[in-house]
Chains A and B, each alone.
Chain A
Amino acid sequence: MTPKNAALKAILLSGALAVSSAAYAQEIKIGFNGDLSASPSAQSGQAGVLGIQAAIDDINAAGGVLGRKLTLVVRDDLSQPPKSIQNMSDLIDNEKVVAVLGPTNSGNALAWKHIPNQKKNPSIGCIGSATDITKPGSANAENYMFRVSMVDRAQVAGLIAYAKNNPSTKKVGFLVETTGYGQGGLKDLQELAEAKGLKSVAVEKFGVNDTDMTSQLNKMKAAGVDTVLVWAQGTPIGQLVRSMEKIDYFPLTLTSWSSDNASFFDTAGKALAEKPIFMRTITEDRTPKQQQLYDRLAPKMASKSAFSFAAHCYDALMITAAAIKQAGSTDGAKMREALENLQAPVEGIMKTYNKPFSPAEHEALTAADYRWTRWKDGKLVSYSDDVVKALKPSDFAQ
């Protein structure tokens, strides 16, 4: 926020305080810190804010929490880590929010995850999926980072399990982009593959802005790879399937959930978009509750495929509110204890959360909540085959 805006806001706030200072002091502030405008993933951030606001509206309509109304304070981090760090201090110290939701980009969460821990202010992630976001700083350290979203490592476990149990898979190859996202994914792929006794015969990398991956694919083809596991963002996966078409080589393609992006679909085109199989939390076969929220938010969503983030963020806020209620306070340490030991089930959009977190587990959604997905006629639909049907929860072990 610019100083000018801050000044303006201060004036407006003092005006509001004068009118209803009693009511205002009662409000509980929740923060959102994430990219809303600067990177291609900004649409996820925008959807997330819509979801949080919808949850806040629902809670306030039912009388709020502890008899107090919730309000949302939104900060755009422009996908830049320094700005994101600055936003965290601003939200926690100046705005006195009781918890921060977001962020859009995993890298930003990793850049500031020490701040919620130091300031004892819970942060509930609902968009970024990097595995390390919810890892504690050291063993047994108090950990204020929670998440209601997908986790990279759990997805990787799913892809590996699929390749491992697919009878027609003889030779697997890994294809990743050269960013932090791709490298993190490759690490997970290699570790979990080794743990499950799956051997890759080729590992290839490509740049996030590359438009032609035929060289890498030709090497995969030469190595006899029939199944590729891809970890990259939406647009480069789109370029990848286009390059597959160029050399007419279509191995079974299992990818990260980035393939659910509109940018992947637009880059690949309707026919090629149907090649990859991946996991995400919501397909277009929505549950009644999901459909209800979708109908409510769809008119405001620029990108409909970002709806899952609205659902995650809705649930994150519901769980936060349940923690405040159980703690009987907005004190950060008490909220963390309540989060790690929620007594009453929380009715969410994704599912009903029964004790979603524990001191050791800070992920509310696990591989069991994921859906196998692929594009079909321009829609994200559930995917199932004999391999998917035969997968057991134990196959997803990490």
Chain B
Amino acid sequence: MLDVYIQTLLSGLAVGGVYALIALGFSITFTTTKTLNFAQGEFISFGAFVGVTVLLLLSGLASATTAVPGEAAAGWRYPAAVIVAGVVAGFMGILIFLLAVRPFAGKGGMNWVMSTIGFGVILQSLGLAVWGPAPVMVPSPLGDDVLRIGGAGVRPQELLVLACAILIMLALDLVMRRSRIGKAMMAVAHSPQTASLMGINVTLVMVGAFALSSGLAGVAGVLIAPIASASLFMGMGFALKAFSGAIIGGLNNPRGCIYGGFILGVFESAVGLWQAQWREIVVFGLIILVLAFRPAGLFGQAAVDKV
């Protein structure tokens, strides 16, 4: 029976790592601009297909229609694909900020909700025109053999996602708390007006936040692709769960978002052990409970409006 619990925990952590990474992206734009990128899901899918394209270009291999040949991910090609996807998605993040968020950021109203969703729909439609509707299986750079840990099975890519998620999150945590850029971001988050008076280029910080958050989504896309297969429809589900994770952890606390993502992943996995069809009901029930008793999330600071 122990192996079943280890299996549940490992599976939950692997999925939770993905949620945490994307949840962190939500948190970054929310803390600096008080807006969210509701196209985050499409950025994940988009990033995955940019990764697929890079793998094929670098390896010079032709794609079978629905699968990238295994050797295309060998050596340095996969890391290169991750980086390129991150950079391209980051660039798209700058675009979405300039076109769909900036006109509305910091103002009342919810215009940015619609405009970011719209941007995502456009991105998905463009993706369909370029890459077509079929899901594409992406090979893992570490191979596909099941590793046994304490009687439980896990694939190398799942461990890789977990490791990457933790590394990226530690690095960002360090940057946010120790560097000037991080401090500037926190200042903008606290009050754009004051930050501006202190000589901080507020717009630049906001652009940076969107680029970073979108870049993370792109990176996540390439990391998930060998597990979920790259599909232009795959991002929505992950983004919704990641957003739920962020809400559970506390949207205005990057660390909380990460914990929230992991909590949600393990929780989902555990509910599956009981009644899988109840999973969504239990997960979203939990979110409502959290919101009712801790409106700012489990790790979030209560928002106190100072006058």
Contacts and interface: CB of A to CB of B under 8 A. Distances in A.
A binds B: yes
Residue among A247, A266, A267 facing the most chain B CB atoms (10 A cut-off): A266
Interface of B: 4, 7-8, 11, 14-15, 65-67, 128, 132-137, 144, 146, 152-155, 227-229, 231, 233-234, 237, 269-270, 272-273, 276-277, 279-280
13 contacts: A39-B133, A40-B134, A204-B277, A205-B277, A209-B234, A212-B14, A213-B276, A218-B4, A246-B155, A247-B152, A263-B137, A263-B229, A266-B136
Interface in A8-39: 37-39
A284 B66 CA distance: 19
A219 to B, nearest CB: 7
B7 A247 contact: yes
B8 A214 contact: yes
Contacts of B273: 215, 218-219
A163 B272 CA distance: 26
Residue among B14, B15, B152, B153 facing the most chain A CB atoms (10 A cut-off): B153
Given A214-B8, A215-B8, A235-B135, A266 B66 contact: yes
A206 B273 CA distance: 11
Contacts of B227: 211
B276 A206 contact: yes
A263 B134 contact: yes
A245 B276 contact: no
Contacts of A235: 135, 229, 231
B228 A209 contact: yes
Nearest to A303: B65
B128 A37 contact: yes
Contacts of A200: none
Contacts of B7: 214-215, 218, 246-247
Contacts of A93: none
B228 A211 contact: yes
A263 B134 CA distance: 8
Interface string A29-73: 000000001111011000000000000000000000000000000
A42 B146 CA distance: 33
Nearest to B5: A218
A213 B7 CA distance: 11
A207 B278 CA distance: 11
B135 A263 contact: yes
Contacts of A42: 132-134
A219 B136 CA distance: 30
A216 interface: yes
Given A38-B133, A248-B146, 15 more contacts: A37-B132, A40-B134, A42-B134, A178-B277, A206-B276, A211-B228, A212-B11, A212-B15, A215-B270, A215-B272, A218-B8, A222-B4, A246-B7, A266-B137, A267-B229
A245 B134 contact: no
Contact of A247 (B132, B153, B272, B279): B153
A141 to B, nearest CB: 35
Interface string A210-251: 011111101100100000000000010000001001111000
Contacts of A215: 7-8, 11, 269-270, 272-273, 276
B66 A209 contact: no
Contacts of A204: 276-277
Nearest to A41: B133
A262 interface: yes
B231 A40 contact: yes
B276 A263 contact: no
A390 interface: no
A39 B7 CA distance: 33
Contact of A246 (B66, B132, B135, B146): B146
Contact of B128 (A38, A222, A266): A38
Contacts of A211: 15, 227-228
A206 B279 CA distance: 9
A222 B4 CA distance: 10
Given A246-B146, A246-B153, A216 B11 contact: no
B65 A302 contact: yes
